[in-house]
Structure 1
Amino acid sequence: MARAAVLLLLLASLGVGAPPSAAQDARAAVEAFVARLSDVNVTDLVIVQHLTLYDPGGRHAQSTGTQRVLFKLPRRQRVEQTVEGQREVRLIVGDRVFVRQSAGKVYEAPALPAESDRTRLLVPVRRSAADLLAEWRALGVRDDVSHVVRVRDRPITVIGARPGDRNVPAVWLDAQYGVIRFVTFVPRETLPTGPTTLDLAFSEHRPLPGGFFFPYRQELFVGGKLLMLFTVRSVDVNTNLPDALFDPDALRREP
């Protein structure tokens, strides 16, 4: 009997015994969401938002500022940020990051870890359901485990976690809004405190002219504690942003 119990635990840890319907349910939910976005045509976004940084305990605001975030799809981003009077401009072009400090110095920074990149969760880049699931698997999300919960009286498919699971990589998918929560692990080498969970939560969705919903409230939790809060003031879609705004050489020449 004891050996049978150990075997069951081992099989569970390996994922053996996860019902095939769980994987099918996860894929069906993602396919339905992707299909809804098939007619959405977004080439760029301009977002103006307020940023609040919290103390390590996640209880008190330490710093505040504003951001103007420009996306030019598929893989270009410009963040113009002013926090406590200090202005910084950050360009993300593919996997490369360039930063212009308030004094005017421009340098290339290390690439952002994939688990902290909100771009693909916020912006409706055209991808297949298989591509999305592959991206999530690369971040530790199991697509053979899923269940449905209700959040604010809306049905949500939780991919990667069983009922009652805590602190496991998971995607919370709303059929209309998209990803409303993304939980993953931050590796040991990323933070001095060691590995922990990173939890992105999106809420207060509003419809945009491009035919999709955008979250006007975004929260970043690290190790279960609130680290950043973004409150969106405005979003403009398809404004035909010039390429020069995303050019590292042009960034160096800016006054």
Structure 2
Amino acid sequence: MVPAVSLLLLALAAAPASAVDARTAVETFVSRLTHVSLADMTVTERFTLYDPNGRSEQASGERRLFVKIPRRERVEETLEGRRVISILLDGRMWVRGSDGRVSEAPPVDAQRARADLLTSFRHTAADLLGVWRSLGIRDDVVHDERAGGRLVTVIGARPGDRASPAVWLDPEYGVIRLVWREKLPAREGVVDLALSDHRRVVSDFFYPFRREIFLDGRLLTRVTIRDVAVNTNLPDDLFDPAALRRIQ
């Protein structure tokens, strides 16, 4: 479920230290959204999975994401004819597999599922910083850097550091890059989520229409957004875990 590309054309020169601390930078961004009216969002996207070397396409599929502010999410994913539905409700996640079986996912999976929604609406600065800290991001290490011609605040890494857990925050778009460490079966890897092609969805709220996930520098997944609809009054049944068992 998790789900951004090289919009990150980074400057080669070392970037100067940030003039603001992490909390101030996040609070400034969050304050831009206080007047935005956003109750729900439906996102239709296409994703491509790559081989371990990140060179060849392995499979592709479609996904629909339903979000009801503030803490309800549903994902319907179809890959090679198999459909999987998951519901994230108040930090817990239920999954209906392609075989029709419904189960509750472990907490770590629920946390991973919302990793690509860290720009979700109605988060406070404290909320965002707390989530980032849970990914190992230090909010006492901050500097400014240029990405794609835009000045952004990098929280968690020093200039030139591309391996430490960090978040790249654009003052207008929000998160454009997120780096964290993931425990793998045999080792620990560096996951790099890049969010780009931000487009205005409603008022001052922008959504990334492209995202890519890299593992140790190799491309794993590429997602492109086909459509975003907002404030359509999504029904509550969409987010009812019990309803997953009634699907035919």
Shorter-chain TM band: 0.7 to 0.9
Q: Counterpart amino acid of 1:125?
A: R
TM-score, with normalisation over the residues of structure 1?
0.84
1:125 is aligned to 122
Aligned ranges 1:73-92 → 2 under 5 Å? 73-92=69-88
Alpha carbons 1:51, 1:67 under 8 Å: kept: yes
Higher RCO, 1 vs 2 (CA within 8 Å, ≥6 residues apart)? 2
1:166 is aligned to 162
2:247 is aligned to 254
Q: Which moved further from structure 2: 142-151 or 25-34?
A: 25-34
- Distance verdict in 2 for CA 1:119–1:199, change over 3 Å: closer
1:43 is aligned to 39
1:179 is aligned to 175
| Offset of residue 126 of structure 1 | 3.3
Alpha carbons 1:50, 1:232 under 8 Å: kept: yes
| Offset of residue 211 of structure 1 | 3.0
2:230 pairs with 1:230: no
Q: Determine helix, strand or coil for the equivalent of 1:193.
A: coil
The answer to which structure has the higher helix fraction is 1
Gaps of 5+ in 2: 1-16
- Distance verdict in 2 for CA 1:116–1:46, change over 3 Å: closer
Aligned ranges 1:238-249 → 2 under 5 Å? 238-249=231-242
Alpha carbons 1:50, 1:65 under 8 Å: kept: yes
Q: How many residues align?
A: 231
Larger radius of gyration: 1
- Distance verdict in 2 for CA 1:120–1:69, change over 3 Å: closer
Aligned ranges 1:187-202 → 2 under 5 Å? 187=183, 191-202=184-195
Q: Determine helix, strand or coil for the equivalent of 1:47.
A: strand
- Distance verdict in 2 for CA 1:131–1:103, change over 3 Å: closer
| Offset of residue 201 of structure 1 | 0.6
| Offset of residue 115 of structure 1 | 5.1
Alpha carbons 2:65, 2:74 under 8 Å: kept: yes
2:90 is aligned to 94
Using the aligned pairs only, state the percent identity. 51
- What is the RMSD computed on CA atoms of the aligned residues? 1.8
| Offset of residue 31 of structure 1 | 1.7
TM-score, with normalisation over the residues of structure 2?
0.86
In the alignment, the residues of structure 1 paired with residue 189 and residue 49 of structure 2 have an alpha-carbon distance, to the nearest angstrom, of 19
